[in-house]
Amino acid sequence: MMQRMRLDKRLKEAHPALSWRQVREAIEKGQVSVDGRVQRDTGLDVFSSAAISLDLNRPAQLKVRASFDILHEDEHIIVLNKPAGLLSIPSSPGLGGTEDTVLKRVREYMAFKRGHKTYVGMLHRLDRDTSGSLAVALSKDAHAAGRDLFKHHKFERHYLALVQGIPDPPSGTIEARISTGYRSGRRKLVDDEDEGLEASTDYLVRERLKGAALLELRLHTGRQHQIRLHLEQLGHPLIGERVYAAARAVRGDKPLGLSSRVSAQRNMLHAWTLSFPHPLLDARISVDAPLPSDFEQLLARLRPSRSR
């Protein structure tokens, strides 16, 4: 297996006379190429086989700044930490050029970085409200191979969720089929004999909170709205859930013990870790996405106060 190293470390090894400041400046000015392409990201992972060239006489170029946090980037794949509130793809085909989406931001970033129109394709999606790790392909070959990996459940995904109440037992697997279609933006759980897709989610209580819990979730399948529906099935919906919350009111379910003063502007769901085989290279991509501030702040509020 080929080894990887940060671009700045590779350049420093190749040019030990340069100071670390000079190394970083050369990369950020566009004076360093990897396999013939200018790269301006000091933390870019490069393989040992990559050809690194330095030209200090090349005129400095403006640094490309991505409008998102990059967790991993190579020639074929980019993984970003999607903020809550950002669509993965346009809500309809006709809005592709106007809506702010992950797809649009990555296209703009790669066009500036590589200087030409670049293929960009989503390997999977996250709901608008969900934050966290999201993988995007940067070539047709990577997209086709990556989608095949996803179809065959080779993407290992763990989420963190803040839910109402505390599940008992504290760990288990939720298995409930999900409808193939949806109405008014909603999917639904269906009986075994009905048409639907198999869906399986593992859950684990990581922390008991005040009328709530921090769960770690692992998806075995990747159905749209799977986590939200499965947590409703468990009887412990996401804090901030609104789309599927009406079902609980209709059923007359009893309150779960969460204070009415505790609320959230979105579903408290974060795609925490993502790991999958590289679609084209003999390597594995593994990332951890830091929690966003709104999730951390609510988690802190829900933690029981400790007596001194």
Read off the tokens for 13. 């090894």
Distance CA(227)–CA(201), nearest Å, equals: 7
Distance CA(56)–CA(52), nearest Å, equals: 13
Task: Categorise residue 247: left if φ over 0, alpha if ψ from -120 to 50, beta otherwise.
Answer: alpha
Distance CA(222)–CA(269), nearest Å, equals: 15
Residues contacting 285, CB < 8 A, separation 6+: 72, 77, 79, 135, 274, 275, 276, 277, 278
Residues contacting 91, CB < 8 A, separation 6+: 99
HSE-up of residue 202 (Cα within 13 Å, Cβ side): 9
CB 212 within 8 A of CB 162: yes
Helix (H) or strand (E) holding 140: helix 140-151
Read off the tokens for 228. 């939200």
Read off the tokens for 270. 């974060």
Q: How far apart are the first and last CA of the chain?
A: 52
Task: Categorise residue 4: left if φ over 0, alpha if ψ from -120 to 50, beta otherwise.
Answer: beta
Q: Which of 8, 41, 74, 127 is catalytic?
A: 127
Distance CA(121)–CA(77), nearest Å, equals: 10
Active site residue 127: yes
Residues contacting 284, CB < 8 A, separation 6+: 275, 276, 277, 278
**Among all residues, which ones are annotated catalytic?**
127
